[in-house]
Amino acid sequence: MKTETKGLTGSSRSTKVRKTLLIAVVSILTIVVCFAGYSVISLYNSLRSMNKNAGGTENAGATASTLNLRERVNILVVGVDSRATNDPGRADSIMLIGLDPVSRTMSVMSIPRDSHVNIPGHGYDKINATVNSDYFSKDGGIDLLEKTVEAMIPGIKINYYAKANFAGFETVIDALGGVTINVEKAMYYKAVDTFINLKPGIQHMDGKTALEYARFRHDAIGDFFSSSNGEEYGRVVRQKALFKAIVAQTTSLRNVWKLPPVIRAVENAVVTDLLPNDMLRIALAFKNASDKEVTTIPFPGEPGDIEGTSYIIPDLDALRSKIAPLFSPLVPSN
């Protein structure tokens, strides 16, 4: 008696293999799509949280985007020296960053904290006091700083701001994985609440060390000095060098896969009036930008003394004629 062996024919076996492969591919694609969707939603929610921190409401009540990527976008980046929740602090660093969406380039100028400026509604004082609501109880804050910068550089518009205190700055740098800087000289300073001891040379810094580098001004130059040929020296130069280094070393992070954990880490450290969608649009527009696309602009001014108080005296003519065009709304079309 013959025993028959039942099994799959070559054709049916091949069909089953193809079906199995198809199910596997669809499953993998489903996982990828779900993960991508989660990443986008997570990123959006984190950006939205940063925006809500700006005065307690999103963009002071604004719901519609005002971002125009056909014009230059100016962002005021402010570091405040507040160390407690109820301490408004003063502006320890002020950087004006101009984004040119057409050429995908950036211009950055540090405004010395001791600049002697005409503060709208208050007269002349140091620019760093504008953000302090205790000093200017009526209207002290970011709005007053923006108005002051716009008055100092006629014809420009501050479109947005981003603000962080010392702890927030450290959090941002740590979230980015640190930053590599070539420290130009030994930097040492010791006080009750500050200790800085940096050695010269190339080094990878965490947030705490990068803050020390950005804050150091306890040498013969201090915060700012400008030579007769317009070259800058002092802390403002280090702040711009730090910005360029961050731009150069974060290109790999500017994508939807790697940004969410970074944004989640810094969402409570940074306050901004940029809407979430606009943050994403700017990030995508400049996703390939490196330090080669960053131009540092010297601040026109010089140290001076007025009634026994040390200031940086801005060159108002140079600000109008040379600086204003670099941050004007219109950009050359390609």
Over pLDDT 90: what percentage of the chain? Answer: 51
Please report, for residues 58, 148, 197, 318, 330, the alpha-carbon distance to residue 321 in angstroms, rounded to integers and kept in the order given.
36, 18, 40, 5, 15
Tell which residue, 299, 332, 312, has the closest CA to residue 108.
299
User: How many CB atoms sit inside 10 A of residue 120's CB?
Assistant: 13
Beta bridge partners of 107: 98, 295
Confidence of residue 58 (pLDDT cuts 50, 70, 90): very low
Q: What is the dihedral of CA 83, 244, 284, 104, to 10 degrees?
A: 130
Confidence of residue 330 (pLDDT cuts 50, 70, 90): confident
**Residues 98-124: tens digit of each pLDDT:** 999 989 999 999 999 999 999 999 999
Tell which residue, 177, 169, 159, has the closest CA to residue 259.
177
Fold of 47-327: Aminopeptidase (3.40.630)
**Residues 278-292: tens digit of each pLDDT:** 877 888 888 888 999
Over pLDDT 70: what percentage of the chain? Answer: 78
Q: What is the mean pLDDT of residues 127-156?
A: 94
Give CA–CA dist 156/107, Å, rounded: 13
Q: What is the mean pLDDT of residues 181-187?
A: 94
What pTM value is reported for the model? 0.81
Tell which residue, 309, 310, 81, has the closest CA to residue 215.
81
Give CA–CA dist 57/329, Å, rounded: 27
Give CA–CA dist 26/35, Å, rounded: 14
Give CA–CA dist 303/313, Å, rounded: 6
Tell which residue, 254, 178, 191, has the closest CA to residue 218.
191
Q: What is the mean pLDDT of residues 259-277?
A: 78
Tokens of 326: 């670099």
Confidence of residue 299 (pLDDT cuts 50, 70, 90): very high
